[in-house]
């Protein structure tokens, strides 16, 4: 084989190798992140918060309990019932953070979770705006 032919063959091999590496790189570098679990957690968090806000606990509407917790510092029912409800609705091991605040100042907080999916809902009771957020890890 002549020298020129050998060199062309060498170049062809290098090109083929580069193409193979390129194909593998594209395959493994493509973003294959699965968003379904996150979407599901988002649905769960939003649905749970929406459902919580509508229920009566010990025959008292949820917004009354929030107002009572804020004005009379009587948060015992919320402290006792919310963890039970969240454990039943999701999973006993699920980490969460449930916060009620007004004017961006939290006055009631449950749980230790610091990052995850957050659902947020404002409510108004006796002309006071409360922000209720539920964060699920």
Partner 1 sequence: MTAHQSIKAQLEMTETIIVLFIFLIILIVSIFFYYQYSISNVKKIGQETLTTSSSVLLSSISSLPDVCCNKENCIDTIKLLAFINNNKDYPIFDKKTITIEQIYPQPTSDKKCTPLLYNDINFPLNCKKFIIHKTEGNNPQIISTPISLYYPQNKQYGIGKLIIEVYP
Positions touching partner 1 (CB under 8 A) are 34, 36, 39-40, 43-44, 47-48, 50-52, 54-56, 85, 88-90
- Indicate the residue among 71 and 120 with the shorter CB distance to partner 1: 120
Contact between residue 41 and residue 116 where contact means Cβ atoms under 8 Å apart: yes
Cβ atoms within 10 Å, residue 98: 22
Q: What distance lies between CA 106 and its chain's CA centroid?
A: 20
- Indicate the residue among 3 and 37 with the shorter CB distance to partner 1: 37
- Indicate the residue among 85 and 99 with the shorter CB distance to partner 1: 85
Bridge partners, residue 60, by sequence: 57
Look up residue 94 and give its DSSP letter: -
Can you tell me whether residue 35 is helix, strand or coil?
Answer: coil
Spatial separation of the C-alpha atoms in residues 106 and 70, rounded to whole Å: 10
- Indicate the residue among 26 and 36 with the shorter CB distance to partner 1: 36
Cβ atoms within 10 Å, residue 43: 12
């Amino acid at each position: 084989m002549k020298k020129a032919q050998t060199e062309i063959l060498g170049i062809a091999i290098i090109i083929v190798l580069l193409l193979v590496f390129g194909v593998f790189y594209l395959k493994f570098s493509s973003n294959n992140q699965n968003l379904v679990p996150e979407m599901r957690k988002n649905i769960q968090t939003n649905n749970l918060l929406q459902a919580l806000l509508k229920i009566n606990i010990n025959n008292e509407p949820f917004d009354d309990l929030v107002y009572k917790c804020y004005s009379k510092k009587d948060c015992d029912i919320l402290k006792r019932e919310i963890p039970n409800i969240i454990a039943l609705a999701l999973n006993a091991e699920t980490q969460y953070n449930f916060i009620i605040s007004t004017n961006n100042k939290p006055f009631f907080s449950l749980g230790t979770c610091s990052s995850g999916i957050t659902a947020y809902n404002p409510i108004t009771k006796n002309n006071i705006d409360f922000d209720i957020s539920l964060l699920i890890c």
